Amino acid sequence: MKVQGQPGFRYRFTFFARQFVSHLMVSLLILGALASGFVYFMKQQALELETSELTSAGKGIVRLLVKEDVEPTAAIQAYRNLLSERKISFILLDKSGEIVYRDPKMPAPYREKLFLDDMRQRIFTMKDNESFILNSTDNEPLVVVSKPIRAKSLKGDMFLFVFSPLQGYEVTLQTFNEALIYMVLIVFVLAVLVSWLFSRNMSKSIRALRRATRQIASGNYASRLPVQRSDELGELSADFNTMAIRLEAASNKLQQYENRRRHFIMDVTHELRTPLTSIRGIIEGLKNGLVTQPEDKYKYYGIIEKETFRLIRLINELLDMEKIEAGMITLHKKRNALRDLLEMIVESLEVLIEAKHLRIDIDCDPDLSVYGDYDRLTQILINLVKNSLQFTEYGSIRLKGSDNETETMIEITDTGRGMTPEELSLIWERFYKADPSRTKSSSETGLGLSIVKQLVEAHEGTITAESTPGIGTTIYITLPKMNSQLPLPAAQEETKPAKGGAE
Q: Is there a single domain that holds both residue 73 and residue 37?
A: yes
- Looking at the chain, how many residues does it have? 503
Greater confidence, 107 or 472? 472
97 to each of 48, 90, 120, 147, 281, how far by Cα in Å? 28, 15, 5, 14, 140
Range of the domain at 340: 330-486
What digits encode the pLDDT tens for the residues 348-382? 888 888 888 889 999 999 999 999 999 889 989 99
Q: What is the mean pLDDT of residues 83-90?
A: 77
Residue 51 sits in a domain of what CATH number? 3.30.450.20
Does pLDDT of 490 surpass 70?
no
Average pLDDT over residues 1-28: 63
Domain boundary at 155, 173, 191, which? 173
pLDDT band at 269 (very low <50, low <70, confident <90, very high): confident
Strands 359-363 and 396-403: parallel
Residues 380, 466 share a domain: yes
pLDDT at 165: 79
User: What distance in Å separates the CA atoms of residue 503 and residue 348, rounded to the nearest whole number?
Assistant: 9
Say what the pLDDT of residue 491 is: 35
Which range in 280-294, 308-322, 341-355 is most confidently predicted, on average pLDDT?
A: 341-355
Selection from 93, 108, 102 nearest residue 73 by Cα? 102
- Residue 239: CB atoms within 10 A of its CB come to 12
pLDDT greater than 50 at residue 485: no
Q: Does the pLDDT at position 140 exceed 50?
A: yes
State the alpha helices, DSSP H only, in 327-436.
338-348, 350-355, 374-390, 421-424
For the sheet with 99-102, list strands across it. 99-102, 89-94, 158-165, 141-149, 130-135
24 and 92 belong to one structural domain: yes
Distance of CA 131 to the CA centre of its chain: 62
Residue 385 lies in a domain: yes
* pLDDT for res 63: 79
pLDDT the model gives residue 495? 38
* Whether residue 177 has pLDDT greater than 70: yes
Q: What is the pLDDT of residue 445?
A: 58
Same domain, residue pair 334 and 482:
yes
* Position 473 in a domain: yes
DSSP state of 495: P
Same domain? For 241 and 358 the reply is no
Q: What is the DSSP string of 283-338?
A: HHHHHTT---SHHHHHHHHHHHHHHHHHHHHHHHHHHHHHHHHHT-----EEEEEH
Residues 276 and 360 in one domain: no
Among residues 310, 339, 373, which one ends one of the domains? 310
pLDDT at site 456: 92
Residue 287 buriedness (CB in 10 A; 0-12 / 13-18 / 19+): exposed
**Are 75 and 120 in a shared domain?**
yes
Please report the pLDDT score of residue 175 as a whole number: 74
pLDDT at 493 over 80: no
% of residues, the chain, pLDDT over 70: 80
Fill in the DSSP letter of residue 110: G
Residue 451 lies in a domain: yes
CA distance 150 to 93: 12
Is 305 found in the same domain as 375? no
Rg (CA), the chain: 54
Same domain, 58 and 143: yes
**Residue pair 427/465 in contact by the 8 Å Cβ criterion:** yes
Residues 336, 364, 498, 462, CA torsion sign: positive
State the pLDDT at residue 335.
Answer: 92
For 119-265, strand residue ranges (E) read: 130-135, 141-149, 158-165
pLDDT at position 410:
94
Which residues is 369 bridged to in the sheet? 337
Predicted local confidence at residue 343, as pLDDT: 92
Residue 479: pLDDT over 90: yes
Average the pLDDT over 276-284 and give the result: 82
Last residue of a domain, one of 137, 158, 173: 173
Is residue 269 domain-resident? Answer: yes
**φ, ψ (nearest 5 deg) of residue 483:** -50, -40
The answer to whether residue 202 sits within a structural domain is no
**What CATH number did the domain enclosing 481 receive?**
3.30.565.10
Domain harbouring 290, CATH code: 1.10.287.130
Averaged confidence pLDDT in the chain: 78
In contact, 385 and 378? CB cutoff 8 Å: no
Specify whether 42 is located in the same domain as 168.
Answer: yes
Neighbours of 355 (CB within 10 A): 9
Same domain, 301 and 347: no
Residue 6 lies in a domain: no
Residues 19, 139 share a domain: yes
**Domains in the chain: how many in total?**
3
Compute the average pLDDT of residues 27-43.
Answer: 79
pLDDT at res. 498: 36
pLDDT digits (tens, 9 = 90+) for 65-79: 776 555 666 667 767
Tell me the per-residue pLDDT of 185-227, one tens digit each, with 9 for 90 and over.
887 788 788 777 777 777 777 778 888 888 888 888 888 877 7
159-163, 261-265, 425-429: segment of lowest average pLDDT: 261-265
- Indicate the helix (H) or strand (E) that contains 468: strand 462-468
Residue 496 confidence class, pLDDT cut points 50, 70, 90? very low
The DSSP element (H or E) to which 451 belongs, if any, is helix 448-458
Ranges 121-125, 221-225, 365-369, 492-496, most confident = 365-369
CA distance readout (Å), 212 to 67, 193, 216, 248: 91, 29, 6, 13
- Is 158 within a domain? yes
User: Is 80 exceeded by the pLDDT of residue 230?
Assistant: no
The pLDDT score that the predictor gives to residue 465 is 92
Structural domain includes residue 1? no
Query: 77-84: which pairs have CB atoms within 8 A and are 24 or more residues apart?
Result: 80/104, 80/105, 83/57
The angle, 0 to 180 degrees and rounded to 10, between the axes of the packed helices 448-458 and 374-390 is 150
CA 50/CA 46 separation, integer angstroms: 6
Q: How far is CA 259 from the centre of its chain?
A: 33
For the cut 80, the answer to whether the pLDDT of residue 273 exceeds it is: no
